[in-house]
Amino acid sequence: MPNQLMILACQGYARRDPALTLSDGGEAEGAWIALNDPALVDAEGQGMAREFNEERENNFRHWNEYLRNDLQPLFQSRLARPRSMGALIRHYNRNDDFLYGVVNPIYERAIGSALPRNELRPLLSSLPHWPMFLMGYACAIYQRAVREQGFGHRRNPGHLDLWSASYLPFCDIFITNDTRQRRALRVINKGNTHPARIISYAEWREKLLQP
């Protein structure tokens, strides 16, 4: 999962590993079985997956709703509303105090000690997964809590959709059949130092079937 990826990346950074190598360690065996033979996933397994996703999406939705309730009065009084997702990302990218407040708690939980303040930028530049992870949340904040129209949860990509941005530095091609996710990831991918090609399932299938 992307949050586990961030923890493993922090641990590798603290050890000064020359490369990031990941393995599911057997924890994702059930997922691999489901991908290779979906017919093996029974009703109980489907129910567990739905409950897991619904819990995360509900928490994500409520968090953004609370944030919107806090931000909108400020935009109406004195705070300038960011005009685009890119403007929001640039605003926070200039604020090292804000970034450190987001990154350090996860780093400290992974390592057991705080990230030295002077290593914030080196960590973000050497681990491209971190900026993608953060921009996924920035996308959600802009779409759901900042902009004036089209902010409903049904019209925007969900939590797991945006978490998938963390995978982009690993990918040559990222395929998704979700239009909302595809549009969001294409914007986030512009800040990716190892940009992936993001395409729809239909486009991938058409190219695959070409003689």
CA–CA dist 195, 88 (Å, integer): 21
Residue at 91 is within a domain: yes
pLDDT tens, residue by residue, 7-59 = 888 998 999 988 877 666 566 666 777 777 878 778 877 787 788 888 888 89
Helix (H) / strand (E) element for 34: namely: helix 29-36
Residue at 191 is within a domain: no
Q: Is residue 112 left, alpha or beta, with left meaning phi > 0 and alpha meaning psi from -120 to 50? A: left
CB 201 within 8 A of CB 175: yes
Residue at 200 is within a domain: no
Q: How many helices (H) and strands (E) in the chain?
A: 10, 2
**Which phi and psi (to 5°) does residue 157 adopt?**
-65, 150
pLDDT tens, residue by residue, 141-186 = 999 999 888 888 888 898 889 999 999 988 899 999 999 999 999 9
- Which residues touch 170 (CB under 8 Å, ≥6 apart)? 129
Query: What's the domain range around 141?
Result: 2-13+50-166
State the pLDDT at residue 178: 92
Residue at 195 is within a domain: no
Residue at 22 is within a domain: no
Cα dihedral sign, 91-95-100-102: negative
Residue at 30 is within a domain: no
Query: In the chain, how many domains are there?
Result: 1
State the pLDDT at residue 27: 60
Copy the structure tokens of residue 51.
Answer: 């409950």
pLDDT tens, residue by residue, 70-123 = 988 988 888 888 888 888 888 888 899 999 999 999 999 999 999 999 999 999
